[in-house]
């Protein structure tokens, strides 16, 4: 799942001329974007919100006054923005997941829409966060920390955009390409966020019991959240137990269909006895850590195997 970003020069050659290192190759971001859009990029951190406050972090936590993004950060008018002939793409920063004051990604979009934004760009400041396969009410792109800041010697979008002397930077956000790519080298790795045993609070509990796919799983989501705005969406890619457990639940349903006489305990036993002990992890969750098998205390009896569980043997 990739959203390609192309360099589109400057709206006016007199306003800027820097060519970023990625001008030929482009950049790749996340998000799910359906419409191609080319526009001038501005950063929310440079503008007052409806409360008269300028958030130097650009978190986009409040509406912006109508017409805010018809102007560059220095107050001069963006040619064509007011009459809609020029699109304006607004950058917001994603909150750290531990920030108690964080607002929803979808809320950020609504806040910049109020100010006249035509597109949405979000980036992570937390190095450990990935992008989210989510569509928004505006054409969008989502960047990881490295995609936004660049990895030396390559520039990221931030290096080019946050200029003190140039204005009118333009990019094109292309429709997202969603295709199935299988790389066996990426299979059966323990997620860095996966819980480990033993339980210090209750030593009688041994968990996890079994492992299942749970990283960036694209699946149906709730589109009816009556107490939030906007009200959800049809599909999303998320990670965690909420994605791994449905794989196991589905496996149990299949076992129940094939063996309706089995008790819940027998189904559980079949799953645990036939799991594949193939899950790997890197020690201390370090990218260059030693590779080892993620056994009982990390992955339970192994990765669930539906075919094996249908015909368990001793």
Q: What is the pTM of this model?
A: 0.69
How would you classify the pairing of strands 280-282 and 235-238? Answer: unpaired
- In DSSP terms, 291 is beta-bridged to 282
**Higher pLDDT pick, 154 / 87:** 87
The domain ranges of the chain are 3-173, 184-310
CA 205 from chain center: how many Å?
33
Does position 231 have pLDDT exceeding 60, yes or no?
A: no
Per the model's pLDDT, the better-predicted residue between 70 and 236 turns out to be 70
Over residues 84-113, the mean pLDDT reads 94
| Confidence (pLDDT) at 205 | 76
How would residue 188 be classed by pLDDT, with cut points 50, 70 and 90? very high
Q: Given this structure, which CATH class describes domain 3-173?
A: alpha beta
47-to-32, 63, 111, 122 alpha-carbon distances in Å: 26, 11, 12, 16
- What's the fold here for domain 184-310? Rossmann fold (3.40.50)
Strand partners, 124: 94
């Amino acid at each position: 799942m990739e959203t390609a970003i192309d360099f589109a020069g400057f709206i006016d050659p007199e306003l800027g001329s820097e060519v970023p290192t990625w001008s030929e190759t482009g950049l790749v971001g996340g998000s799910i974007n359906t419409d191609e859009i080319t526009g001038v990029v501005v950063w929310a951190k440079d503008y007052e919100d409806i409360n008269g406050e300028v958030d130097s972090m650009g978190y986009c936590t409040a509406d912006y006054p109508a017409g805010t993004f018809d102007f560059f950060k220095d107050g001069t008018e963006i040619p064509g923005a007011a009459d809609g002939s020029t699109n304006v793409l607004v950058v917001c920063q994603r909150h750290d997941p531990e920030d108690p004051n964080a607002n929803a990604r979808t809320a950020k979009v609504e806040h910049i829409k109020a100010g006249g934004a035509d597109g949405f760009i979000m980036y992570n400041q937390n190095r450990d966060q990935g992008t989210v396969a989510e569509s928004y009410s505006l054409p969008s792109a989502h960047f990881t920390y490295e995609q936004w800041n660049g990895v030396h010697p390559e520039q990221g979008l931030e290096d080019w955009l946050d200029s003190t002397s140039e204005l009118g930077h333009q990019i094109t956000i292309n429709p997202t390409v969603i295709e199935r790519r299988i790389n066996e080298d990426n299979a059966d790795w323990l997620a860095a966020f996966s819980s480990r045993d033993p339980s210090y609070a209750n030593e009688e509990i041994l968990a996890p019991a079994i492992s299942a796919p749970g990283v960036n799983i694209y699946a149906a989501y709730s589109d009816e959240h009556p107490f939030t705005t906007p009200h959800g969406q049809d599909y999303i890619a998320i990670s965690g137990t909420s994605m791994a457990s449905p794989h196991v639940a589905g496996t149990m349903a299949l076992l129940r269909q094939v063996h309706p006489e089995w008790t819940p305990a027998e189904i559980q036993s079949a799953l645990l006895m036939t799991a594949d002990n193939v899950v790997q992890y890197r020690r201390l969750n370090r990218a260059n850590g030693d590779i080892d098998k993620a056994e009982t205390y990390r992955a339970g009896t192994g990765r669930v195997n539906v075919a094996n569980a249908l015909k368990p043997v001793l």
